[in-house]
Structure 1
Amino acid sequence: MSESVLDLDAVHATALDLARGAGELARRFAAEGFGSVADIDRRIVHHLAARYREHGVLSRESGDHGPDDARVRWLVDPLNGADNYRVGLDLYGVTFAVLLDDHPQVAVVHDSASGRSTSAIAGRGAWQEGRRLSVAAARPATQLTVAWIEGSEVAADDPLRQAALHTLERSTHRVLRTGAPARDWALLAEGGIDAAVVLRGEPWDVAPGSLVAREAGAVDTRVGGFTITGVPGSLRGLTALLAAH
């Protein structure tokens, strides 16, 4: 069905090219001390508007573009991990998801610092620079490394946030709070970590990476106010930890 409406291979190639270009621009801007995320975003949006006039675009930086009734919509974060970037930490990237009727079909999470891209097409698997990806083997909860991803509206003193982090930090091996979901999702897909726990995440932070992770073998579950994506055999213990919150 999606192939008849959307050329998945062409869209995937476009998303990869744009993500790599955006990452290179961010690195250059950081090194040379000029340019901004708005400049990167403008190039992406203009390219998509010229190539796919019938598609919509929702950018973290500049909002909605294109037809309101578009069946195909691009979610774009041109500088994922912007707070890290601003203070000189090499933990930032670019995220793209292409949705057909609100269902993700193509995703790219690009690590701008390393130049490495991780991507997926629905039903075809996840890949990183030509290598097919697979999530890690199942482990008990005490051995899990878990990425924590939260939306920008989640306050530091949010009771649910505080309680969940306390539980995870006490009961798992490690909780990563990188501030760069693009990197977290790539780590999950390549088997470097075991799960991602999302609390009220932004669409740019969740849709691209969760498709990549699922295509590498991860599964999703919801418990309380959380979405957990991770290694199938590891989710039971993690879900039990968060169920009380």
Structure 2
Amino acid sequence: MTVSDDKPQAAVIGGKSFTAVAINCAAKAGEWIKTKLGNYSRLDIKYSPQDLVTEVDKGSEKLIRSLILTHFPHHSFLGEEGVEPGPAASAKALEDVKDAEYLWIVDPVDGTTNFVHGFPFFSVSIALAHRGEVIVGVVYDPMRDELFLAERGKGAYVHGKRMSVSGEETLASSLIATGFSADQQYALPLNMKGLQALAPQVRNIRSGGSAALHMAYTAAGRLTGFWEIGLNSWDLAAGALLIQESGGVVTDTNGNPYHLGVRNVAASNGKIHDEFIGALKQAEAQA
């Protein structure tokens, strides 16, 4: 990976760049996913009718896992498609590997429903955590060929340019994003309470269907903030570092600091964060 004064220096172990491997994996998986758009052969339902998986999700994860373990065979790997559906299984899968020295956390297609419908808003999300702290995060949008990259302590970048969060200082001037959980019993009703409460208080709300891209857009200043109930580590890990390295704030919906076990997330440019959390609290939509 070429290093220049205005780009982040790659994290390296034994001469191998973590960041270069993450970028290469995301790019290769993204290219392959794009060729499968409108051309997948099997659609399965996981946790609920809104929680979909195709052979493309599984193939993308297999490709990424193989590439990573070729370079770093002793690292641990947590990918969405290697985990049984449902919140309990997700929590247990993270618990089983959370103490790993190096843990790669991967969502091979974040936005599968969009992919299935040909709606061009999905991404590949790859993060690397060192002893529980995310140190590299990559989110790649193959349809726009946009790669969002962050290294801890070295900033976040898109198109090779440094990213920074937006400047809005109030909820009233903010463009906020959210998502709609496949968990219709618990997470979705809470998110709807938050949506109903926040919609009159903000400039507008968007829901693109990829949490990783919502996080990346918040880091890039395209969104002021994002919240969602019932996510997983692979949805959030890379995007959380992108936002933190762009000057923003990531917490749970109660305002507690982000960690890999957070499932209910609130992220913002920082300037609106207290007001944002306060509005969710008032609506009893924090989880």
Aligned to 1:134: 164
AA of the residue aligned to 1:237: E
Query: Relative to 1, partners in 2 of residues 1:216 and 1:157: Cα closer, same or farther, differing over 3 Å?
Result: closer
Aligned to 1:234: 272
AA of the residue aligned to 2:81: E
Of 19, 26, 30, the match for 2:26: 19
Q: Is the 8 A contact 1:133 1:190 kept in 2?
A: yes
Aligned to 1:195: 225
SS across alignment from 1:172: coil
Q: Is the 8 A contact 1:136 1:194 kept in 2?
A: yes
Of 167, 171, 175, the match for 2:201: 171
Identity %: 22
Q: Is the 8 A contact 1:25 1:40 kept in 2?
A: yes
Root mean square deviation of aligned Cα: 2.6
Query: Relative to 1, partners in 2 of residues 1:157 and 1:72: Cα closer, same or farther, differing over 3 Å?
Result: closer
Q: Is the 8 A contact 1:109 1:185 kept in 2?
A: no
Aligned to 1:29: 36
Whether 2:238 is the aligned partner of 1:218: answer: no
SS across alignment from 2:119: coil
Q: Is the 8 A contact 2:38 2:116 kept in 1?
A: no
**Which protein has the bigger helix share?**
1
Instruction: Tell me, in whole angstroms, the C-alpha distance in 2 between the residues paired with 1:7 and 1:70.
Output: 18
Instruction: Tell me, in whole angstroms, the C-alpha distance in 1 between the residues paired with 2:194 and 2:208.
Output: 17
SS across alignment from 1:185: helix
Instruction: Tell me, in whole angstroms, the C-alpha distance in 2 between the residues paired with 1:241 and 1:196.
Output: 13
C-alpha displacement of 1:150: 5.6
Q: Is the 8 A contact 1:219 1:229 kept in 2?
A: yes
Query: Relative to 1, partners in 2 of residues 1:6 and 1:102: Cα closer, same or farther, differing over 3 Å?
Result: farther
Query: Relative to 1, partners in 2 of residues 1:187 and 1:158: Cα closer, same or farther, differing over 3 Å?
Result: closer
The one-character-per-residue Cα deviations of 1:55-83 (angstroms, maximum 9, x if unpaired) are 0111111247xx96631010011111001
Instruction: Tell me, in whole angstroms, the C-alpha distance in 1 between the residues paired with 2:123 and 2:114.
Output: 10
Q: Is the 8 A contact 2:253 2:280 kept in 1?
A: yes
Aligned to 1:62: 82
Question: Is the deviation greater in 156-165 or in 133-142?
Answer: 156-165
The one-character-per-residue Cα deviations of 1:123-154 (angstroms, maximum 9, x if unpaired) are 11001121000011133111211111465435
Instruction: Tell me, in whole angstroms, the C-alpha distance in 2 between the residues paired with 1:159 and 1:153.
Output: 9
Query: Relative to 1, partners in 2 of residues 1:196 and 1:10: Cα closer, same or farther, differing over 3 Å?
Result: same
Q: Is the 8 A contact 2:177 2:223 kept in 1?
A: yes
Instruction: Tell me, in whole angstroms, the C-alpha distance in 1 between the residues paired with 2:57 and 2:280.
Output: 36
SS across alignment from 1:61: helix
Matches within 5 A, 1:67-106: 70-106=100-136
Question: Is the deviation greater in 143-152 or in 200-209?
Answer: 143-152
AA of the residue aligned to 1:56: S
Structure 1, unpaired ranges of 5+:
none
Query: Relative to 1, partners in 2 of residues 1:47 and 1:5: Cα closer, same or farther, differing over 3 Å?
Result: closer
Question: Is the deviation greater in 29-38 or in 52-61?
Answer: 29-38
Structure 2, unpaired ranges of 5+:
1-9, 42-54, 84-92, 255-262
Question: Is the deviation greater in 224-233 or in 153-162?
Answer: 153-162
Whether 2:39 is the aligned partner of 1:39: answer: no
The one-character-per-residue Cα deviations of 1:149-170 (angstroms, maximum 9, x if unpaired) are 4654354884422211101112
Query: Relative to 1, partners in 2 of residues 1:170 and 1:17: Cα closer, same or farther, differing over 3 Å?
Result: same
